[in-house]
Structure 1
């Protein structure tokens, strides 16, 4: 393989005069020992170069470099890696967040659907499609539509909905479950909400709305099940 120890060794030995040291395949113990040491070091340097090259692009970056990329684009607390989240999943989240639509009503809807899997309810007090209008067919007192107000410019009300379920608790089947085993996955034990990993917290929902809302607007957000 290009750049590995055997490849570098053969390249180095191929540069030596064959009249003095023989062909690259001829065993020369002392020379081979020196070249083996050199080729091992150079192969490590080459692998380090390949690794460093990967970290210069979001599509190939790995490990903590992805976290640094996210912090660079979105700030230290803008898009943190979730507990146990893989590089592939986190990379996709970075790309989606970086390129997602922003500063529109549709941006809020798409962001919350992506985060929670549920479509939010959005009411703009100055939008007749949300509030209805006197004599309009899309509204009825206590039946359809919401109260509107011309005195609330650049404001909207968002009802976001929590996901139907979280990802659960790693390695735990649940107390009394037949598949559970003592001290091993999937073990049976009492569980609490504090043990749940991978779920969407309310703070994630608030942060998502704040990240894509238009500047200069006020978005009143409530969260419901």
Structure 2
């Protein structure tokens, strides 16, 4: 018996009746049936009240009510991903609501939260990123940092953001162990264990760019490279240039 269910409400209603009026409940089927019927209706009403009470808080909401929270606070800027659970979506909404913005630490924090990998941020106008001539040691050494900066590039930055690791796809066991298994050898599952189409990612390239646009200060020029973690700089594959005109 749980609070608010039919048995609980039936017990409460019976306790309100004067003792001795009906004797043993087994001997009073009419009043007993009436109370059970009333309790059944009240149990449904109680369940509805508790459900709607839960929807008044983001952390306890569920289903389409979570989507309504996102729409109320963030408009169309944070839609639910296909197949995303309520818990995952609620977490992303909370991050979007309380994430700090407009600073370099905020950019690092939000991209790390989104992708699981810390980005590389280079500001040409920042000596700590470029190094200084005449300094022969330490992190501020030009020879140690080896990146040329320029005072002619204020309010600018280059960001290398790494995609999150995908799950759900594979190239097939026949490629991983072709000697023991092959595509034409039984069982078939040895040769075909999955598909690249089954890959699932928690953040697409578009999500990363949208997050950067939402976090960066107004009026800045940002160059963004989105790549897989561990790829050499010469192989960076997706580059975007963001400026004030991209802000809506």
TM-score category, normalised to shorter length: 0.7 to 0.9
Cα 1:63–1:30 change in 2 (3 A) is same
Q: Say whether the 8 Å CA contact 2:171–2:195 is kept in structure 1.
A: no
Distance (Å, rounded) in 2 between the aligned partners of 1:76 and 1:85: 16
Which aligned pairs between 1:130-209 and structure 2 lie closer than 5 A? 130-137=129-136, 138-140=141-143, 144-163=145-164, 165-169=165-169, 174=172, 176=174, 188-189=192-193, 191-192=195-196, 194-209=197-212
Q: Which moved more, 1:215-224 or 1:45-54?
A: 215-224
Deviations 1:170-191 (Å, cap 9, x if unpaired)?
Answer: xx8945488x9779xx994551
Which aligned pairs between 1:1-225 and structure 2 lie closer than 5 A? 1-18=2-19, 20-22=21-23, 25-78=25-78, 80-137=79-136, 138-140=141-143, 144-163=145-164, 165-169=165-169, 174=172, 176=174, 188-189=192-193, 191-192=195-196, 194-225=197-228
TM-score norm. by structure 1 comes to: 0.80
Query: What SS does the corresponding residue of 2:58 show, helix, strand or coil?
Result: coil
Distance (Å, rounded) in 2 between the aligned partners of 1:62 and 1:181: 42
Task: Tell me how large the CA RMSD over aligned residues is.
Answer: 3.0
Highest relative contact order (Cα 8 Å, sep 6+), 1 or 2? 1
Q: Say whether the 8 Å CA contact 1:182–1:188 is kept in structure 2.
A: yes
Q: Say whether the 8 Å CA contact 1:121–1:160 is kept in structure 2.
A: yes
Offset at residue 158 of structure 1 (A): 0.8
Cα 1:181–1:16 change in 2 (3 A) is farther
Q: Which has the higher helix share?
A: 2
Q: Which moved more, 1:143-152 or 1:41-50?
A: 143-152
TM-score norm. by structure 2 comes to: 0.73
Distance (Å, rounded) in 1 between the aligned partners of 2:11 and 2:45: 17
Query: What SS does the corresponding residue of 1:146 show, helix, strand or coil?
Result: coil
Distance (Å, rounded) in 1 between the aligned partners of 2:32 and 2:171: 57
Distance (Å, rounded) in 1 between the aligned partners of 2:45 and 2:35: 15
Q: Which runs of 5+ in 1 are unaligned?
A: none
Distance (Å, rounded) in 2 between the aligned partners of 1:145 and 1:111: 27
Q: Say whether the 8 Å CA contact 1:167–1:199 is kept in structure 2.
A: no
Q: Say whether the 8 Å CA contact 2:115–2:202 is kept in structure 1.
A: no
Offset at residue 151 of structure 1 (A): 2.6
Q: How many residues align?
A: 214
Query: What SS does the corresponding residue of 1:135 show, helix, strand or coil?
Result: coil
Offset at residue 10 of structure 1 (A): 2.1
